[in-house]
């Protein structure tokens, strides 16, 4: 449970919406489904790239099931504040788990996490450098294995696949992290075409241009509503996981 979203009840009570990181990743896979219109290319090798997007955060499942408490805030620990060493351990589980999909899935997920580390404050730390050097070497091996089987997959395709995974990851996080009430334009999309979403009532987003091949897209996540209070430990958080709620969104063309 590592996406922590503030929520205010109709009564005025402050709550936290805890969305499992693995559920967010599944949402990113749902958003990637039926993609590829209005200048946006379909997923590269979807038999690999789609499950890689869907499962790129599977390493978080154990943490989702036993959310730790941030020692400073006394709230469930957000993925944004997860210590570097713990993040590396979780990312490694995601990368290792992707072996059941393909070496290319391992490559894409590892590249994604390497980029996250490279753009973080801990990129130059000893732990950061060890993580990056380890996976730079492994990524070369995984990509070589993939290209031996799929020689037609050139560097342009590979780079597009990485951009697709990263875009849908961010699209999903953007939905999960807060209630969206203002128009937003995604400028860093896989084709570097702008995509604007305009919130309406009841979770509807008018979307321009229309990037999916279906008439509308309906997606959802589930999470727990818990009191916004100090927590002693994981057991204290688990004792409050009694109110499971669903968030849903519907995207429609302009």
Angle at 63 between CA 60 and CA 68, to 5 degrees: 140
The arithmetic mean of pLDDT across residues 9-32, rounded, is 92
The arithmetic mean of pLDDT across residues 92-112, rounded, is 95
The arithmetic mean of pLDDT across residues 156-163, rounded, is 93
**Per-residue DSSP letters for 64-98?**
HHS--B-TTT-SBPPGGG--HHHHHHHHHHHHHHG
The pLDDT assigned to 5 comes to 87
1: confidence class by pLDDT, cuts 50, 70, 90: low
Tell the residue number behind the tokens 């690999």, with chain if given.
Answer: 48
Burial 108-135 (b: 16+ CB within 10 A, else e): bbbbbbbeebeeeebeeeeebeebbeeb
The pLDDT assigned to 110 comes to 95
Closest CA to 163 of 83, 52, 21, 58: 52
35 secondary structure, DSSP code: B
The pLDDT assigned to 81 comes to 86
Among 60-64, 143-147, 153-157, 194-198, the range with the most confident prediction by mean pLDDT is: 194-198
Report d(CA 71, CA 75) in Å as an integer.
8
Contact 190/167 with Cβ under 8 angstroms? Answer: yes
227: confidence class by pLDDT, cuts 50, 70, 90: very high
Residue 94 pLDDT exceeds 70: yes
Own/partner long-range contacts of 176-180 (Cβ < 8 Å, ≥24 apart): 176/3, 176/5, 176/19, 176/24, 176/27, 176/221, 176/247, 177/3, 177/5, 178/5, 178/6, 180/205
Report d(CA 43, CA 80) in Å as an integer.
28
Q: Is the pLDDT higher at 200 or at 126? A: 200
Judged by average pLDDT, the poorest of 129-133, 234-238, 240-244 is 129-133
The percentage of residues in the chain with a pLDDT greater than 90, rounded to a whole number, is: 75
Closest CA to 130 of 82, 77, 103, 92: 92
């Amino acid at each position: 449970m590592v996406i922590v979203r503030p929520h205010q009840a109709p009564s005025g009570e402050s709550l936290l919406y805890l969305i499992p990181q693995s559920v967010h990743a599944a949402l990113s896979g749902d958003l990637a489904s039926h993609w590829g219109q209005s200048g946006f290319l379909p997923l590269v090798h979807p038999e690999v790239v789609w499950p890689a997007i869907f499962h790129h955060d599977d390493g978080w499942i154990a943490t989702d099931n036993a959310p730790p408490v941030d020692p400073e805030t006394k709230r469930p620990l957000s993925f944004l504040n997860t210590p570097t060493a713990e993040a590396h351990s979780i990312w490694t589980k995601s990368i290792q788990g992707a072996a059941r999909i393909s070496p290319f899935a391992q490559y894409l997920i590892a590249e994604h996490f390497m980029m996250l580390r490279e753009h973080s404050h801990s990129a130059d730390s000893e732990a950061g450098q060890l993580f990056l050097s380890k996976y730079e070497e492994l990524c070369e091996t995984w990509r070589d294995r993939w290209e031996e089987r799929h020689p037609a997959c050139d560097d342009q395709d590979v780079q597009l696949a990485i951009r697709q995974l990263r875009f849908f990851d961010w699209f999903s996080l953007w939905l999960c992290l807060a209630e969206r009430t203002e128009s937003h334009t995604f400028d860093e999309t896989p084709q570097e075409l702008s995509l604007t979403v305009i919130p309406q009532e009841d979770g509807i987003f008018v979307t321009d241009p229309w990037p999916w091949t279906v008439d509308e897209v309906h997606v959802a996540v589930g999470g727990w509503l818990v009191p916004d209070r100090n927590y002693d430990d994981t057991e204290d958080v688990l004792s409050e996981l009694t109110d499971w709620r669903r968030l849903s969104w519907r995207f429609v063309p302009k």
